[in-house]
Each structure stands twice: as structure tokens, then as C-alpha cells.
Structure 1
Amino acid sequence: MEYTIAKFIHLMGILIWAGASSSLGLFMLYSMKRPTGCNQDLLRNFYRWMTNLEIAGFVLAIVMGFYMLHILKYKFDINWLNYKLPLVLGIILPLEVINFWLVNFYIPRSKEKPKAYKNYDLFTYIVALPLIAISLIVIYLAVAKP
């Protein structure tokens, strides 16, 4: 596979990750604060599947990012990449692992679902703005390549 195709698949992964997380995440935040008439259990189950789609997009982006790095023969002398990788692997990746664990293990196994949902919502509130800011910085680094 050539670099251009790998980059295209990398960008598809980013779009899946960002699209699934932002659109459904905003709806979930809204539906928890205002009555929407939606069945919350059904909605939360759908959110779980969308979170897994989001994480699959993130994994696709990471794998293709490392594949592009492989194509470049692991040249870490690219300044912008030396800023981008720690942000992605040191901040975004751990948050996505925690998100995956909360949605697929903590909440389903919880005996008190409303409390588990409340804890998850708190996690979402806390990480949403920093995650958006860091994601925008990562995108800036990839586009501007300072």
C-alpha cells in the first residue's frame, strides 16, 4: 500500500472517530439534561455501539499513522510529528482506553446503572473540552507541519 492510500485511510479513521464521538456525544449530553422522549436504556445501548465505532476509527487512525511512519522508515526527525505523537499516545489514547473500559465493562457490569451512567457522564464532561483542544492542536500540527 502506498503512502497516499495509507494517509487517506488514516484520515477516514480520524473522521469516524471525530464524527461518532462529537455528534452522538453532544446528543447524549443534551438528552440527559432535557427530556427528549427517548428510551434512555435504548439510547445508552446505541451510544455504546457508537462509542465502539468511535474507538474503531481511532484504532484505524493510529494503525495507519504508524504504517505511514513505517513507509517513511521511522524518521522521527520530523518536528511536528515529535509534538503530535506524545499528545496522541500520551493523552488521547489513555482517554479512549478509559472510555472503552467505562462503556464496555464498568457500565454493563454495574449493579446501579443510573450511578454508573452519572459517573460516565461526569467523565465525559471533564474530558470533553481538553480532548477537543488537544485534537485541534494535533490537527493543526498535521496540517501546518511547523
Structure 2
Amino acid sequence: MLEELRQVLQPWYLQIKFIHLLAVMIWSFSTAVAYTWFIRSAWISWKKHPDVAALKKRRDWLMEQFDKGASLEHIAFPVLLLSGGLLFWTTGWTLESHWLAVKLLLVTGVFVPMEIVDYWLSHFGGSKRQWREKGDHARYEKLMQWHWAFFRISTPLVAIFIPLIIYLAVVKPAL
């Protein structure tokens, strides 16, 4: 049964690859501009002048808007995992292709855990908006601080490993 399904999907390889690449682009770049040009500058301005209410309000509003915008990224990530799995399965690749093993190690070891934290911070228990609406300002501020710490840790990882993963996928170097 599975082999027959694989045979049915093989002619659709390029369409699956297109979906995969589109999801990779959406996931990897959807929040980069917002973080680089808006969140970072608002946070730094607020840190320099924490007593200026307008700067805190701007920081809070931008972080909550960022969480909304991250929804696109958080839809794309499962799509890229699913389409990547289909590509792996339909082509019959193995982990003997060292470039692929490294790529999958980076995805599963760096980005899956990172995205789990990111989903939580943006939408679930760590959603700042829900705590603001409940009036729990201490929890709200704690989550702001956690999210900022997450950005400070994840940004260098993203800057290094996303281009590396794309390089591995495109060049497929002999490692």
C-alpha cells in the first residue's frame, strides 16, 4: 500500500518541492523584517528610557502585532515539515547522503525545539495579549522579557543555520 502511494506521488515531486520551498521562504523570512526594523528598535528605545510610557506602549503593541504576524510563519513550518517528509519519502533518499543528514539534524535539533517555544510564546500560554486582557501585568511583563530573551538566543541561530540549510539543500555538497 505505501509503495503504491509513493509511486502515485513521485510524478508530483516538483509540485511538492515547490510547496516545500514556498513554505521555507514564508517560514524563514516572514518575521525577519518585523524583528529587525521594528521590534528590535522599539525594545532598545524602551530599554534606554523605561520610564517613558509611550515607548513602553509602542514596545507592547509591536510585540503583540509580531505575535499575530508570526501566525503565517507558524502555519508554514508544519507545511515545510510535511512536504519535506514527502520529498524524503517519495525520492527514496537515505541518511547516507551526508548533506541531508546534517540538514535534518539542524531542522530537528535546532528549529523544531525553537518553533515549539515560539508557538508557545506567540499563541498559547505565553501569549502576551491574553495576559494583558486578563489584567495580569506582572505575567505580561515576564512574558515580554522571555520573548525578548528568546529573540536574543534565536536570532543568531536563524541567521547562521537557515542559510546553511538552504545551502545544503541547493548545493548538496559531498561531506
TM-score tier, shorter chain, comes to 0.7 to 0.9
CA–CA distance in structure 2, aligned partners of residues 126 and 90 of structure 1: 15
The question of 1:60 aligning with 2:82 is answered no
Aligned ranges for residues 1-146 of structure 1 at < 5 Å?
A: 2-26=12-36, 27-34=38-45, 39-104=58-123, 105-108=125-128, 110=131, 111=136, 112=138, 113-146=140-173
CA deviation vs aligned residue, 1:51-97 (integer Å, no higher than 9, x gap)? 12112112211111001112113533322111100100111110111
Q: Is the 8 A contact 1:107 1:117 kept in 2?
A: no
Distance in 2 of aligned mates of 1:40 and 1:129:
21
The amino acid across from 1:32 in the alignment is: W
Aligned equivalents of 2:45 and 2:34: distance in 1? 15
For 1:137 and 1:90, locate their aligned partners in 2 and report how far apart those are by CA, in whole Å: 14
Q: Which has the higher contact order (CA 8 A, sep 6+)?
A: 1
Equivalenced residues, count: 146
- How far apart are the structure 2 equivalents of 1:41 and 1:134? 29
Structure 1 Cα separation of the partners of residues 96 and 13 of structure 2: 18
Q: Which deviations, in whole Å up to 9, do the C-alpha atoms of 1:24-54 show, x marking residues without a partner? A: 2212112222379774444333211211211
User: Any stretches of 5+ residues in structure 2 without a counterpart?
Assistant: 1-8, 47-53
TM-score, normalised on structure 1? Answer: 0.87
- Range with greater deviation from structure 2 (93-102 or 18-27): 18-27
C-alpha RMSD over aligned residues: 2.1
Percent identity, aligned pairs only, is: 25
Whose Rg is larger? 2
Structure 1 ranges of 4+ moved more than 6 A: 35-38
Structure 2 counterpart SS, 1:34 = helix
What CA distance in whole angstroms lies between the structure 1 residues aligned with 2:42 and 2:59? 9
